[in-house]
Homo-oligomer: A and B are copies of this chain.
Amino acid sequence: MSSKITPNIVSPPKKIKVGILGATGTVGQRFITLLSDHPWFIIEALGASERSKGKRYREAVKWKQTIPLGGLGLGGIGTSETEKISSTDLRSDDRRVGDLIVKSCIPEEFKACQLVFSGLDADVAGDIESAFRSANISLFSNAKNYRRDPHVPLVVPLVNPSHFSIIPQQQRLHSPSLSKGFIVTNANCSTTGYVIPLAALEKAFGPIESVLVTTMQAISGAGYPGVPSLDILGNVVPYIGGEEEKIEWETLKILGGITDSETEFDKNGVPLKTFDMHQAGGRPALRVSASCNRVPVVDGHMECVSLRFHRRPPPSPQQVREALSAFTPEVQTLGCPSAPRKAIEVFEEPDRPQPRLDVKGTHNGAGVSVGRVRQCQVLDIKFVVLSDNVSIGAATSSIINAEYAVLKGVVS
């Protein structure tokens, strides 16, 4: 982690008011479920489309979570701006998230929030998220719109939170420079799952040269209504629009580093730091080839990974297993409350992990599960990785990113 952000870890404030954009959608519902008993974050405001505006959340939403809306742990549910927060109040029956009035997704409605999560659809996220940043609001987005922006970090919290160090540059690009507003994105669900073991292996054995990944992705990754049942029941669809490209370039940005731009300069004429996927931050070249499939599974992306290291000879399967199991990301050591106790659970059984049995693993969906580590006859090593696409693959990543930002003083 770059010391440029903050030299010391900050004690988290008792309660941090947060907002959720796109609150009625699939990702928004996940944010609410995960934040409903968060130790720091209090849901203060919910934003959705004009159709939902002004309604109570329970009337606006078509709730699709297995935990009933009325049964959510109520530790973090917000309160109106003028009232004092007490934990007694928060947990009282009449103050539930279901009763919050849905707001428009405009910055003025979220002024009471110290940070905002975005579960917006890509077709509206671009303008709205930009407006929130310009209004000096810290925004943690699950949308894809700004992932390719060379000044926006694309952060898988178990892999590259150090990329937060580019935020000051992102803020300086505005005139006047922003003091609090920024956008941080998390990665596509299928990228997030498999890049965690890749990062663990690069940390242990040095750079990877090439990766072939074949995914079998759950339907919940497509949101709601998402995949029509006639397309997927008893079927496999060997195509997910844009997904392969996302995996191929997001991996490069996430595992790559930050370089000084040769073409962009700040107001003082100093070269801007930037993500350059071609240079990849000075690391050796990495080639990624992805094949994406949709399968009739509700939750849990399975990915079959084969990879080749630069280092010769490559590590053995047993060394790989040990390195994966030992991987301890910074967000764990730092104490992010939503970080998994174990980042990578390694299975020895020949037929595990499996989505239906293992998607939550022992990490409750915030880590990943790896199995079948063995030699590859073509590259070096192959294995399968299973990730909970609606947790670490989506809202959970945004939340850990926000926790990290709080602990590092990026959000104050």
Chain A contact residues, CB within 8 Å of chain B: 64-66, 68, 70-71, 210-212, 214, 216, 219-220, 224-239, 241, 248, 287-289, 291, 293, 295-298, 302, 304, 306, 350-358, 360-362, 371-372, 376-379, 382, 384
Contacts and interface: CB of A to CB of B under 8 A. Distances in A.
Nearest to A244: B374
Max chain B Cβ within 10 angstroms of own Cβ: one of A224, A234, A295, A298: A234
Contacts of A216: 216, 236, 293, 295
Given A214-B214, A306-B212, A377-B248, A228 B227 contact: yes
Given A210-B378, A225-B230, A231-B229, A238 B353 contact: yes
Contact of A237 (B291, B298, B351): B351
Contacts of A302: 236, 238, 293
Give the copy number. Answer: 4
Contacts of A211: 378
Contacts of A355: 234-236
A372 B290 CA distance: 12
Contacts of A210: 377-378
A219 B214 contact: no
29 contacts: A65-B357, A66-B360, A68-B361, A211-B378, A212-B379, A214-B291, A216-B216, A216-B293, A225-B225, A225-B230, A229-B232, A233-B298, A234-B355, A235-B297, A236-B302, A236-B354, A238-B302, A238-B371, A288-B377, A289-B377, A289-B378, A289-B379, A291-B304, A291-B382, A291-B384, A293-B302, A295-B295, A296-B297, A298-B356
A357 B235 CA distance: 8
A353 B306 CA distance: 24
B362 A230 contact: no
A354 B228 contact: no
A377 B287 contact: yes
Nearest to A239: B351
B225 A228 contact: yes
Given A225-B225, A239-B350, A306-B212, A234 B289 contact: no
Contact of A304 (B214, B220, B357): B214
